Amino acid sequence: MASRNSTTASRAPQRQRGRERVATLLAAASSCFVEKGYDAATMTEIAARAEASIGSLYQFFPTKEALAHALMADHAEALYGRMERLVEQSRGWGTEELAARLVRTFADYRRQHPSFAVLVEAVGSEPSSLSRTIRQRMRDYLSQILAIHAPGLAAGELRPAAMVVQQLMKAAVALQNEQPASLRRAAKTQLQRALAAYLRSLSEAIDGDA
């Protein structure tokens, strides 16, 4: 993937019409990236999918890297919003409910934003640097949730525990492609139980040491 233009920034539209055009271009890019992959998708195809001229696309996004970065940033804001709500809502949940919501949140998000995974996994691309930022922000949110549900957990243990929870959430996403559906549901239920057991162990270990 070319890198010499990867730092070229996209131009933010100032008017409503421009914002609507950018939204259309981002939606078209998302569809093309899902269908063809990041490397194979072209700016010409994206413009055609958006029913826009190539000049209009380049007006807002001078490179494919800038376009992908803008799409990733858009996806990230949606993910942050979900996680912020999860932090607030989780205060009243028990361990089983928390595990179920964590598994559901990431799986639902990935299903509704399929191009997110494509861009996150685009090795060596500009979006990959942003994906690292997103990954760290996710761990920040999960650390906040764990601090609420396992208040006795040492500060130094929060981040490693958040990483474990994050990996279990990603495993739930991977199960989405498993067939048959009955086997997928059974595996998801067991993964949810494993997460609940892990969350329970974080608080019980502290209670036992008290």
Structural class in CATH, domain 69-209: mainly alpha
pLDDT tens for each residue of the chain, 210 residues long = 343 344 455 666 657 887 899 999 999 999 999 999 999 999 999 999 999 999 999 999 999 999 999 999 999 999 999 999 999 999 989 999 999 999 988 888 988 999 988 888 775 455 567 878 888 999 999 999 999 999 989 999 999 999 999 999 988 888 887 889 899 899 999 999 999 999 999 988 654 444
* CATH of region 16-65: 1.10.10.60
Q: How far is residue 125's CA from residue 72's CA, in Å, rounded to a whole number?
A: 12
Q: Angle CA(117)–CA(123)–CA(128) in degrees, nearest 5?
A: 65
User: What radius of gyration do the chain's Cα atoms show?
Assistant: 20
For residue 5, the model assigns a pLDDT of: 41
16-65 matches 69-209 in fold: no
For the chain, the structural domain boundaries read 16-65, 69-209
For residue 17, the model assigns a pLDDT of: 81
